[in-house]
Chain A
Amino acid sequence: MTVAAMQRPPKVARQSSAEGVRLALSGDWTLVASHRLEEEGRRIVEEARLDRMVAIDLSQVSQLDTAGAWLINRARHDLAGRDVAVTLKDVRPEYSTLLEETHYRDFVAPSRPRFNVIFVLLADFGESIVDALREFYRGVGFLGEFVSSMMYVAANPRRFRLTSLVAQIELVGFRSVPIIVLINILVGGIVAQQGIFQLLKFGASSYSVSLIGILVLRELGVLLTSIMIAGRSGSAITAELGSMKMREEIDALLVMGLSPIEVLIAPRVLGLVISLPILTFIADIAALFGGMVVSWWYGGISPAAFASLLKEAIALHTFLVGIIKAPFMALVIGLIASMDGLATQGSAESLGRQVTSSVVKSIFMVIVMDGLFAVFFAAIDY
């Protein structure tokens, strides 16, 4: 026994007699009939539009719902507009309330202003530039708030949330170690393989070791780690703060006289600032290890030879250049993630948008920062 089998489709039958025109409606006048229902509603008007007087007979209607009643009422209204006098006949008592409640009314559609496509495109473009500038302005303000709340915490060390910080370091730092080790071993290996392969043409494959050392320590280690953390932890921070914002938890903090920056954001950003240099150090070692393994296996450079070549190629400052960048990257990632989280509006969609924008923006900013550092270190010849 399926539901479809029990359905009687809605029908309109026209009967002319001495008393005048009668439209006999029958079947289920319900939404189940879908577009069939709409068509029959239109047929009422079509069948009767040339008459003077019409009686709509509802005695055969087996079921009626809001949609059916509305369509009947709409047809009555349309016919009245064509000077056709319509009466309803044999309305069952249980239908009459429904027919009354769904009497025809004009729903004035809120008119949407229409614009030219080019106009809209230009406006969007302008808006996005203004938004970007405004965002930058807000970002600077946010950084200021963060710094001032850190100063306050520094002056009142007992306000410092150590437990929360340790939890963040575990979440951001410790738990990221496996994935960071893995991708850095792979990338170190790939750089080594390409270096050896390309430099072999000049018979200088042993230079690949200095290529690996310098590239990994100065750039790749910190960049890969930052990008990974932006995707992994930045998105988590945005989502967490965003859903707290949606459920008014941030407002709850505010009315308790607590600062969300101090309670929620400081531990997260500090956790990032402490974790990222450590992770970068681990990433460096992993990438060098990957490079060493590939050099040995692919380029025939033994680990001992690799170590001594590496020692010649790099100095402490090579390593420091990479590590110094890490806390700044962390700060940028943490602040962007927090700011975007707090900018979440009520809907789930908005949360999704903020998480995406946070990740995209922080990866972009990480690369921009890296470029700025490159210029800076070149200028001071470090």
Chain B
Amino acid sequence: MTSSSTPASDAARQRPDRDVIIGVRDLVVGFGDKTIVKGLNLDVYRGEVLGVVGGSGQGKSVLTRTILGLTPARSGSVQVFGQNRDMLSPLERRALEQRWGVLFQNGALFSGLTVKQNIQMPMRETRDLSERLMDELALLKLELVGLSLDAADKFPSELSGGMVKRAALARALALDPELVFLDEPTSGLDPISAAEFDELIGTLQQTLGLTVFMVTHDLDSLYSICDRVAALAEGRVIAAGPLETLLASNHPWLKAYFHGVRGGRLTAARVEQKDEQWKPAPTTP
């Protein structure tokens, strides 16, 4: 295979000095007699935004859920923060879970709580803080994700799709996690909201020093905020690396994805744009 990534070579080709935050080795996950993930290897490094792409039903959500420990693996290992969940005591596992935040595909906001209470839920349950500080932090998070303060006392059913995603992101960030999982954060958003959301993730990533694991279908997100992209097909990572290497790949699915009707148009436009941006760069030291 052209760019099939054994993790070691991938790491070496990338920046060898970087911490591996998530290490997935030979992972196999299946349901009944169906095997969805077939021996998958993947590394996520500290401080990067990794985009995971793949066709519908290729197991992106299953992979995410397996890393999160929601779906059991048949074999293989998943290490997060250098620890294997299965080896941890319940207490250590809970400590580990407080170091990540998750944005589910449909937000998964608690429908019986207001937005503010949703954001405060993790703080209330795991920390011992005054009401005043929790209120301030919740509203601060709300501002950080770009929601207006009058959304604070609304219930999830009163929010639009984009607001739900933002509120859910605010909840995912409640405990200032080091690692954030985003499952199709921009799906179901209009292009403008999606672009804003991408920008938001980029800003937050820089401000808070996050590592982001982002499942996405959105080519725009890949171009604008992902440092590296991993492509999932046939239950494996068929390619992982900076977007440019994936664009150059000969894998049929990748070619169809990036150079097909929709992808092609965007890719062409982006490459042009990049060239224009890049040309003057060497002249200014």
Contacts and interface: CB of A to CB of B under 8 A. Distances in A.
B194 to A, nearest CB: 22
Interface string B184-217: 0000000000000000000000111100000000
A3 B91 CA distance: 10
A141 B91 CA distance: 56
Interface stretch (B16-24, B28-36, B135-143, B239-247): B135-143
Contacts of B95: 2-4
Given A3-B95, A4-B95, A34-B128, A94 B176 contact: no
A42 to B, nearest CB: 10
Which secondary structure characterizes the binding site on chain A? helix
A67 interface: yes
Given A4-B95, A65-B176, A67-B133, A101 B127 contact: no
Interface in A72-121: 74, 94, 97-98, 101-102, 105, 107-110
A108 B153 CA distance: 13
B123 A345 contact: no
A245 to B, nearest CB: 11
B208 A65 contact: yes
Interface string B138-174: 0111011000011011011110000000000000010
B168 to A, nearest CB: 15
A67 B137 contact: yes
Interface residues on A, range: 20 to 34
A31 B134 CA distance: 11
Contact of A346 (B140, B153, B158): B158
Given A3-B95, A35-B129, A97-B206, A348 B112 contact: yes
B209 A94 contact: yes
Interface hub of A35, A65, A70, A107 (most chain B Cβ within 10 A)? A107
B254 interface: no
A101 B157 contact: no
B155 A109 contact: no
Contacts, number: 79
A346 B154 CA distance: 12
A84 B217 CA distance: 52
B86 interface: no
Given A38-B130, A97-B206, A66 B155 contact: no
Given A34-B127, A346-B157, A66 B111 contact: no
B92 interface: yes
Given A3-B95, A66-B141, A349-B112, A107 B135 contact: yes
Nearest to B127: A34
Q: Is the interface of B mostly helix, strand, loop or mixed?
A: helix
Interface centre among B91, B156, B176 (most CB of A within 10 A): B176
Which of B140, B155, B208, B209: most chain A CB closer than 10 A?
B140
Contact of A31 (B92, B112, B123): B123
B102 interface: no
A346 B123 contact: no
A340 B92 CA distance: 45
A148 interface: no
Nearest to A94: B209
A30 interface: yes
Contact of B176 (A4, A66, A349): A66
A347 interface: yes
B123 to A, nearest CB: 7
In this complex, the interface size class of chain B, counting residues with CB under 8 Å from chain A, is 35 or more
Contacts of B153: 110
A67 B134 CA distance: 9
Contacts of A65: 176, 208
Interface string B73-101: 00000000000000000011001100100
B175 interface: yes
A345 to B, nearest CB: 6
Nearest to A30: B176
Interface string A20-40: 000000000011001100100
Contacts of A66: 137, 140-141, 144, 173, 176, 208
B207 A348 contact: no
A348 B111 contact: yes
Given A34-B128, A38-B129, A38-B133, A346 B141 contact: no
Interface in A40-67: 65-67
Given A3-B92, A94-B209, A107-B149, A31 B175 contact: yes
Contact of A109 (B110, B135, B156, B209): B135
B172 to A, nearest CB: 13
**Central interface residue in B136, B149, B153, by most chain A CB within 10 Å:** B136
A107 B139 contact: yes
B149 A98 contact: no
A97 B207 contact: yes
Given A3-B92, A66-B176, A346 B156 contact: yes
Contacts of B175: 31
Max chain A Cβ within 10 angstroms of own Cβ: one of B91, B152, B157: B157
A74 B132 CA distance: 12
A112 B206 CA distance: 37
Contacts of B143: 105
Interface of A: 2-4, 30-31, 34-35, 38, 65-67, 70-71, 74, 94, 97-98, 101-102, 105, 107-110, 246, 345-350
13 contacts: A4-B95, A31-B123, A31-B175, A35-B129, A66-B144, A66-B208, A67-B176, A70-B140, A71-B133, A97-B207, A108-B149, A110-B153, A347-B112
Given A2-B91, A65-B208, A98-B208, 17 more contacts: A3-B92, A31-B123, A31-B176, A34-B128, A65-B176, A66-B140, A66-B141, A66-B144, A67-B137, A70-B137, A107-B135, A107-B149, A108-B149, A346-B157, A348-B110, A349-B111, A350-B111
